Amino acid sequence: GKMFHPMAATVLYALIAAFILSVTFIPAMIGLLMTLPSDGEREGDTPMMRRLKDLYARTLELSLSRPFIITGAASALFLSSLFLFTQLGQEFVPTLDEIDIALQAMRIPSTSLTQSTEMQRDVERTLIQLPEVAYVFSKTGTAEMASDPMPPNLSDTFVILKPCQQWENPKLTKEELIEKMEEALSVLTGNGFEFTQPIEMRFNELISGVRTDVAIKVYGDAFDKMQQTAEKIFSIVEGIPGAADVKMAQTEGLPVLHIEIDRAVASTLGLNAADILDVIAIATGGGHAGVIFEGDRRFELLVRMPETERNDLNALNRLPIPLKTGKGKISTIPLQEVAKLHISEGLNEIQRENGKRFVSVMANVRGRDLLSFVKETQKAVTSQVKIPDGYWIEWGGEFEQWLSAKQRLEIVIPLCLIVILFLLYTALGTLREALIVFSGVPFALTGGILALWLRELPFSISSAVGFIALSGIAVLNGLVLMTATAQRFKLSNDYWRAVKEGAIVRLRPVLMTALVASLGFIPMALATGTGAEVQRPLATVVIGGLISSTALTLLVLPALCLIFIPKGARVRSPKNQIGERVLQ
């Protein structure tokens, strides 16, 4: 909502101001600057408008002589557009080109900070050699201000690109550049990479908890079953066309020190488990040994083994364990005499949501729309993976945001259409006329869908907002036409002539309304700068819808008026004098 709120507010305030001016300032200026035509003098038309009216009159004659055929053809066109709509891709919002690239480098959980830093330097040196890259900087692990805590085996890399004009190939797309980076980084073993954009990465992570476009979360209790199910899903997702940066949550692989105390030997020596574990904890994690004062400064003294020995099992086995002996006597025994030590891989992290464990499989989508990718993946997972009883999967990421937005649109769009129909009924006074004018909405949808299909744009929240705006604009032309028809019908009670003259006389305002509205959206439709990706579908829908709505309103709406003739109306059809009163 925040994305389109400024535009909606601007349009609303502009319409309010235009309404106030139209009933105050404009009438006053007309009275001051314009003169009334003398008797017998008609409103003048430009030569171009006269030719347009002449052409429209002949076309209108064909439409009015075959109203059922014209209406049927328009209905068939609308149904065809609905079929085209099913062929459109769907996504949450168009991907905003942020110019720069962000990627996350992943290593095995046992990677130390020193190792990770060295590996990350290799990544930076590789990326900076690309001619499209201006500079690179990274963040590894958790900073002192832990606003974004990460383990030391993860690094966020930000790649700042040069302007496109300075690239070796200025026509290189962002997807092709990412493929080029992946190829260059493939020689660096021990790394896994996930490509995204800086804002997009944070946006996805804040809203859905993952940085990728799609996340498949496996919920359950037993970690091994969840892991097995996630691995099966992972292998399926890797084979789906369009899948990129496929990965599983790093739930395993963290080195864990296991201590098995020989309680029989320990009790013989007068030791309990706490005595032994306390010594190991101090040696590896550190223990408070006092305070050092230097003037008014104080320093906490921490005692522990050197880093090289903390990771050495032999050194830990030689760790002296103090024995409980007589007063004044100090006696120790090596740790290996009372305990066995070994290192094995354990759990790296346990993810939870609403108190339930889950293991996630994540992927980005490139080269196709989001919804078709998810549908194909869901079908493959459902048919090939058996979910154990008591376990379930949920789909998250950007797809989750799309589902939430879709549910809101399913409420907002019907509500908007009902309000439009109610306002038309209030303005025209009869449900018959209101429904005839309301037919401009499906006519407009036809052009909007066709425009998206021709430009190969997927349906998104941006285009949905365009369809909502288009629904209101589309009925304006029909309202102008129907009002003129009703006025002439009151004067002559000849419905045929009223329909003809109302359509021809109102040709100019109908064309101007559509033309002015379309021209305002052309810069948005053709824009290529930053942020244009979001504006382009909206403008495309409005322009395409106005073109189809105007054409069909001028031809189909008069035909509908003849099909649904009001009670008591006289209908005469002078074959050779269509619109003669207006055109002469």
The per-residue pLDDT for range 462-489, each reduced to its tens digit, is: 888 888 888 888 888 888 888 888 888 7
- The reported pLDDT for the residue numbered 76 is 92
Please tell me the least confidently modeled range out of 118-122, 396-400, 502-506: 396-400
Q: Judge contact between 284 and 297, C-beta under 8 A.
A: no
Element containing residue 213 per DSSP (H, E): none
pLDDT at 207: 67
The token duo for 252 is 């395993």
* CB distance 280 to 309 below 8 Å: no
Residue 340 neighbours by CB distance under 10 Å: 12
Q: How far apart are the first and last CA of the chain?
A: 52
Question: Nearest-CA neighbor of 195 among 208, 209, 213, 218?
Answer: 213
Per the CB < 8 A criterion, the answer to whether 201 and 102 are in contact is yes
Comparing 147 with 163, the larger pLDDT belongs to: 163
Residue spans of beta strands (DSSP E) within 71-164: 101-106, 133-140, 154-161
For 395-433, write each residue's pLDDT tens digit.
887 777 788 888 888 888 889 889 989 988 888 888 888
Measured distance CA(285)–CA(112) in Å, rounded: 16
CA 370 remoteness from chain centre? 9
pLDDT at residue 158 in the model: 92
Closest by CA position to 202, among listed 281, 296, 98: 98
Predicted structure pTM score: 0.72
Q: Is 373's pLDDT higher than 80?
A: yes
Residue 397: phi and psi, rounded to 5, are 80, -150
pLDDT digit string, tens, across residues 26-52? 888 888 887 665 554 455 677 888 888
Three-state SS string over 473-523 comes to HHHHHHHHHHHHHHHHHHHHCEHHHHHHHHHHHCHHHHHHHHHHHHHHHHH
Phi, psi for 137 (deg, rounded to 5): -140, 155
Over residues 290-316, the pLDDT tens digits come to 888 888 888 888 888 887 888 788 888
H/E element, 428? helix 398-428
Nearest to 235 by CA among 222, 249, 252, 248: 248
Q: In 257-397, where does DSSP find H-type helix?
A: 263-268, 273-285, 307-310, 313-317, 370-384
Average of per-residue pLDDT across 331-358: 83
In terms of phi and psi (left: phi > 0; alpha: psi -120 to 50; beta: otherwise), the region of 456 is left
The residue that leads in pLDDT, 445 or 144, is 445
Residue 516 neighbours by CB distance under 10 Å: 10
State the average pLDDT over residues 355-381.
87
Stretch 188-214: mean pLDDT: 80
Alpha carbon 389 to chain centroid, angstroms: 33
**Who's near 190: CB < 8 A, 6+ residues apart?**
107, 108, 111, 119
pLDDT grade for 140, boundaries at 50, 70 and 90: confident
Residue whose tokens read 């504006």: 535
Please give the pLDDT value at position 302.
Answer: 86
Domains of the chain: 47-87+429-583 (1.20.1640.10), 99-196 (3.30.70.1430), 256-347 (3.30.2090.10)
pLDDT over threshold 70, residue 187: yes
To the nearest whole number, what is the mean pLDDT of the chain? 83
Please count the other Cβ atoms lying within 10 Å of the Cβ belonging to residue 439: 22
- Rounded CA separation 11/17 (Å): 10
pLDDT at 16 over 60: yes
How far is 486 from 432, CA to CA, in rounded Å? 12
Measured N-to-C along each axis, helices 431-438 and 398-428 cross at an angle, to the nearest 10 degrees, of: 140
pLDDT of residue 582: 39
